[in-house]
């Protein structure tokens, strides 16, 4: 009998992380650059899938609330179209283990 | 808040806390600004604290510090898609103080403790305080702008220990945005298991710990990087690291990558029955010596990850280098203070100290490691399968004569990889395995 529990989905994993959500986003993208961006690396490279492509609006949506502040998207965006600011002091991810 | 200190430290990670501790002990007026709710709130790492420097600052620190286990057992596991060949070492000497200066650790607990030690020594640690800018006066750094009412704070000198996501240093033009080939992403899960299960599964007792590193096809065929499992008291740190450039090029989702790693039979056996408690991610600077920024400017020094001080060999050793550079930055500040001169020229003494220490000696020694690891694609592709096929043949009991089996081994190897390429790769890699 296989007792292995089903692997957690990403939202289940995020549910385990403690966040103090800031009132405004610490992440911003330049939608004009994103429209013209060939690889849209941010959509795949974020470990919590903060960035999604909204086909109808032809724009990148940014769910900053689930950001682990790992720093990857800023390095990955070759266009320099991504503005990364530290969230307000004490806000954002608060690891319990680390 | 218009105030003046001898020194401002940005960031209460291992680099910043070590700097603040050293300065405060020497009686200097030092303030640390940390953006997290508490020190460690923003920080994660693989999980082994290397502690030669810490043990110098606080001999026998492990009796007091929230360390999980000391590492007595190391396992290097080379995996193909479904098989594993591993090398295990367990040394009794590692069971005695100073425990080979290797302790599994959880950063949210450890960083908080270390910052509290700096506070006890006399430093002021302000949490929930984001530094947004360096204040430049007459071409030199004169202070910082903290994101709060009237948050201009001045000091003779600023130690920038903001970590790998070096927004401040970049904004001030001290370094460019790092290249995606020189930065890896690490993703980790804390997976809880009862202590007894961990002890039995890894062959440990009491405070003994194990560190397992996975190479080869740990992340799937052709994906560079590797994985790890480190034992904490009642949990495992299970994670992977992969260059951002490779993730980008292959369009790989990091969460899928760690899930795949957890499913590998060599890994799933060890984490079976455990429950994920936390999901974490962070970047690791891996450009090494060749990617190092300018380390000093008038009135400021860079320490730790924001200076790129991570040993880019197969070990992700950063904590010790961070603390060492924090201490040396502090010593340089003390010297500058005694001379009353905080010019770039005086602060260059920091670079000299680093050059004479293991920090830059090791970074220089491994300076080609990032390029070599990048170009040795066979490591993550052809070799694992070939090695596993050879071992399978070698250990399979059959009636084939040994001579025939040996011939067959050679054929397998030749068919998979050119012997010349293998020999070349072995030579090139040898240097980086210590
Ligand atoms: C996945 C992974 C695995 C690793 N494994 C290991 C390992 O097993 N062993 C090992 O020795 N090393 C390991 N490392 C490396 C190690 O974590 C780092 O080298 C070390 O943490 C660097 O210390 P630091 O103080 O320079 O930076 P950090 O630990 O990143 O600390 C920087 C601090 O500054 C704060 N900060 C940043 N910007 C600001 C600002 N503007 N204002 C106020 N505060 C700010 C942050 O909140 C943080 O607390 C690993 C790293 C990663 C990512
Ligand atoms: S990678 Fe940069 S430019 Fe491209 S879609 Fe993402 S944020 Fe926009
Ligand atoms: S910092 Fe990391 S977690 Fe946050 S949005 Fe960027 S890639 Fe995602």
pLDDT at B401: 79
The pLDDT, as a whole number, for residue A1 is 45
Q: A65 with A49: CB under 8 angstroms?
A: no
Mean pLDDT lowest among B216-220, B273-277, B289-293? B216-220
Evaluate if residue B394 carries a pLDDT over 90. no
Q: Based on the domain organization, do B272 and B343 belong to the same domain? A: no
How many beta carbons lie within 10 A of that of residue B91, not counting itself? 12
Q: Are residues B44 and B166 located together in one domain of the fold? A: yes
Query: Distances from the Cα of A76 to the Cαs of A71, B121, B225, in angstroms?
Result: 9, 40, 17
Question: Are residue B192 and residue B225 in the same domain, yes or no?
Answer: yes
Return the SS3 of A98.
Answer: coil
Confidence of residue B431 (pLDDT cuts 50, 70, 90): low
Last residue of a domain, one of B306, B331, B356: B356
State the DSSP code for B179: P
pLDDT (mean) for B189-214: 97
- Average per-residue pLDDT for chain B: 92
For residue B99, being part of any structural domain is answered with: no
Give the pLDDT confidence of A13-31 residue by residue, as tens digits.
999 999 999 999 999 999 9
pLDDT, residue B392, reads 79
Ligand 3 atom nearest residue A76's Cα: 7
Whether the predicted pLDDT of B302 surpasses 70: yes
All domains of chain A, ordered by start, with CATH?
A: 18-85 (3.30.70.20)
Binding-face residues of B in 398-427 toward A, CB within 8 A: none
Is residue B25, in this structure, part of any structural domain at all? yes
Question: Is B1 a residue whose pLDDT tops 70?
Answer: no
Confidence of residue A3 (pLDDT cuts 50, 70, 90): low
Confidence at residue B424, expressed as pLDDT on a 0 to 100 scale: 72
Ligand 3 probe mutation, A48, A49, A65, most atoms within 8 A of CB = A48
Q: State the average pLDDT over residues B9-22.
A: 98
B72 domain residue, yes or no? no
Given B234, B261, B285, the domain boundary residue is: B285
Mean pLDDT of B143-170: 96
Indicate whether residue B163 lines ligand 1 (CB < 6 A): yes
Q: Percentage of residues in chain B with pLDDT exceeding 90?
A: 76
Claim to verify: residue B211 and residue B328 sit in the same structural domain: no
**A17 reaches B (C-beta below 8 A):** yes
Report CA(A12)–ligand 1 centroid distance (Å).
26
Q: What is the pLDDT of residue B400?
A: 78
Answer whether residue B388 is part of any domain: yes
Q: Which residue range forms the structural domain that includes residue B272?
A: 181-285
Q: B33 to chain A nearest CA, in Å?
A: 10
Burial category of B430 from C-beta neighbours within 10 Å (exposed 0-12, middle 13-18, buried 19 and up): exposed
The enclosing H or E element of B400 equals none
- Per-residue pLDDT, averaged over B155-173, amounts to 97
CA angle at residue A72 from B164 to B144, to 5 degrees? 40
Q: Is B93 inside any structural domain? A: no
Count structural domains, chain B.
3
Residues B146/B130, Cβ–Cβ less than 8 Å = yes
The per-residue pLDDT for range B26-80, each reduced to its tens digit, is 999 999 999 999 999 999 999 999 999 999 999 999 999 999 999 999 999 999 8
Do residues B302 and B277 share a domain? no
**B30 and B163 assigned to the same domain:** yes
Residue in B128, B251, B279 nearest the CB of A90? B128
Q: Is B334 contained in some domain? A: yes
ipTM for the assembly: 0.96
Say if residue B257 is in the same domain as residue B309: no
Q: Comparing C-alpha atoms, which of B49, B30, B31 is closest to residue B113?
A: B49
Determine if residue B101 is left, alpha or beta; phi over 0 gives left, psi from -120 to 50 gives alpha, anything else beta: left
Whether residues B45 and B140 share a domain: the answer is yes
A58: closest CA of chain B, how far (Å): 20
Q: Does A55 touch chain B (CB under 8 A)?
A: no
Among B257, B285, B313, identify where a domain stops.
B285
More confident residue, B212 or B411: B212
Distances (CA, A) of B395 to B78, B84, B85, B308: 16, 13, 12, 44
Tell whether the model's pLDDT for residue A96 goes beyond 80. Answer: yes
With residue B45 as reference, give the H or E element that holds it.
none
Query: What does pLDDT average to over chain A?
Result: 95
Query: pTM score > 0.90 for this model?
Result: yes
Residues B189 and B164 in one domain: no
Nearest CA to ligand 3 atom 7: A46
Q: How far is the CA of B10 from the centre of ligand 2 (A)?
A: 29
To the nearest 10°, report the CA torsion of B246, B252, B256, B262.
-30
Site to substitute for ligand 3 among A73, A77, A84, A92, most atoms within 8 A of C-beta: A73
Report the CATH number at residue B16: 3.50.50.60
Give tens-digit pLDDT for B108-131.
Answer: 999 999 999 999 999 999 999 999
Whether the per-residue pLDDT at B430 is higher than 80: the answer is no
> Which is higher by pLDDT, A2 or B185?
B185
């Amino acid at each position: 009998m296989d007792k292995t529990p089903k692997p957690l989905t990403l939202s289940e994993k995020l549910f385990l992380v403690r966040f103090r959500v800031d009132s405004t986003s610490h992440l911003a993208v330049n939608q004009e650059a994103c429209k013209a961006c060939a690889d849209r690396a941010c959509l795949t490279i974020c470990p919590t899938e903060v960035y999604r492509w909204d086909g109808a609006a032809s724009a990148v949506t940014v769910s900053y609330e689930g950001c682990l502040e790992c720093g990857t998207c800023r390095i990955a965006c070759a266009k320099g179209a991504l503005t990364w600011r530290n969230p307000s002091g004490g806000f954002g991810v608060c690891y319990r283990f680390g | 808040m218009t105030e003046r200190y001898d020194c401002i430290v940005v960031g209460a990670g291992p680099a910043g806390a070590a700097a603040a501790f050293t300065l405060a002990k020497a009686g200097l007026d030092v303030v640390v600004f940390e953006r997290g709710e508490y020190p460690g709130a923003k920080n994660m790492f693989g999980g082994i604290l290397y502690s030669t420097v810490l043990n110098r600052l606080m001999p026998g620190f492990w009796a007091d510090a929230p360390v999980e286990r000391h590492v007595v057992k190391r396992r290097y596991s080379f995996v193909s898609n479904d098989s594993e060949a591993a090398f295990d070492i367990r040394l009794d000497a590692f069971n005695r103080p100073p425990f080979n200066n290797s302790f599994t650790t959880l950063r949210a607990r450890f960083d908080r403790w270390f910052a509290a030690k700096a506070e006890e020594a006399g430093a002021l640690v302000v949490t929930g305080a984001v530094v947004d800018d360096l204040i430049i006066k007459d071409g030199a750094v004169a202070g910082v702008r903290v994101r709060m009412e009237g948050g201009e704070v001045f000091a003779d000198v600023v130690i920038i220990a903001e970590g790998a996501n070096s927004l401040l240093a970049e904004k001030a033009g001290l370094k460019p945005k790092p290249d995606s080939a020189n930065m890896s992403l690490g993703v980790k899960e804390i997976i809880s298991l009862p202590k007894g299960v961990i002890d039995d599964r890894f062959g440990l007792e009491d405070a003994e710990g194990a560190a397992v590193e996975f190479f080869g096809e740990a992340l799937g065929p052709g994906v560079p990087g590797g994985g790890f499992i480190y034992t904490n008291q009642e949990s495992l740190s299970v994670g992977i690291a992969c260059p951002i450039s490779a993730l980008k090029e292959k369009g790989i989702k990091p969460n899928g990558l760690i899930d795949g790693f957890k499913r590998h039979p060599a890994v799933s056996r060890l984490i079976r029955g455990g429950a994920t408690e936390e999901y974490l991610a962070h970047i690791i600077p891996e450009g090494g010596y060749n990617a190092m920024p300018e380390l000093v400017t008038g009135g400021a020094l860079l320490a730790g990850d924001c200076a790129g001080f991570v040993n880019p060999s197969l070990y992700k050793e950063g904590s010790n280098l961070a603390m060492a550079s924090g201490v040396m930055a502090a010593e340089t500040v003390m010297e500058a203070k005694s001379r009353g001169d905080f010019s770039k020229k005086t602060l260059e003494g920091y670079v000299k100290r680093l050059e004479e220490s293991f920090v830059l000696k090791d970074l220089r020694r491994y300076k080609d490691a990032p390029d070599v690891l990048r170009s040795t694609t066979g490591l993550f592709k052809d070799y694992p399968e070939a090695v596993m096929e050879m071992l399978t043949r070698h250990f399979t009991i059959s009636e084939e004569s040994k001579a025939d089996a040996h011939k067959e081994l050679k054929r397998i190897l030749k068919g998979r990889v050119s012997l010349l390429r293998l020999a070349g790769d072995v030579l090139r890699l040898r240097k980086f395995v210590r």
